[in-house]
Amino acid sequence: MAWRIDLGPRIKSVFDDLPPDLERLRTLRVWHALWLSRIDRKIALLERRKAEEEHGRRTRPQTPEWVVEVGIGASKPPVQVHAGTCHMIGSRRRPVSRDEARQLLADGLRACTHCQPDTQLHIIDLEVAQIGAMGHVGRRSTGPGETRGCDAL
């Protein structure tokens, strides 16, 4: 035998917690409509922002392989060569090709000590191996009292 307990009017229905009069029900309706409108605007804003970020990701230019940091002034002379991903690049810069970066380093422009583009470009030692006037690779001569490499031992 199943027991049924009838509690009668003491327990209200879960969905019967709304006010009984029409005026307060309409007020609640307006209040919820305002909240829904506010939530819809926020959803639209976030969807628009997400679409803009995705568009930015798709259309972002590629990071240059090599960058030359330039100085100030009208002529903006090159100051230092960096790898394109180097975190030490200043705000004044311009992208350069691999050949131009090698040429700038060979011409004596300073290489960044952090990303070491001279090593990445396989330029071993610009002071030791220089192209002479005859077009051949020669060793830098040592001055009086100056020693090089194993000569110091």
Which of the residues in the chain have pLDDT under 70?
1-15, 125-153
Residue 130 pLDDT: 43
Residue 12 pLDDT: 60
Q: Cα angle at 95 between 93 and 96, to 5 degrees?
A: 125
Give 75-99 pLDDT, tens digit per residue. Answer: 888 999 999 899 988 889 999 999 9
What b-and-e string marks burial along 75-109, b requiring 16 or more CB atoms within 10 Å of the CB?
eeebebbbbbebeebeeebeebeeeebbebbeeeb
Assign residue 34 a region (left: φ > 0; alpha: ψ between -120 and 50; beta: otherwise): alpha
**pTM summary value:** 0.48
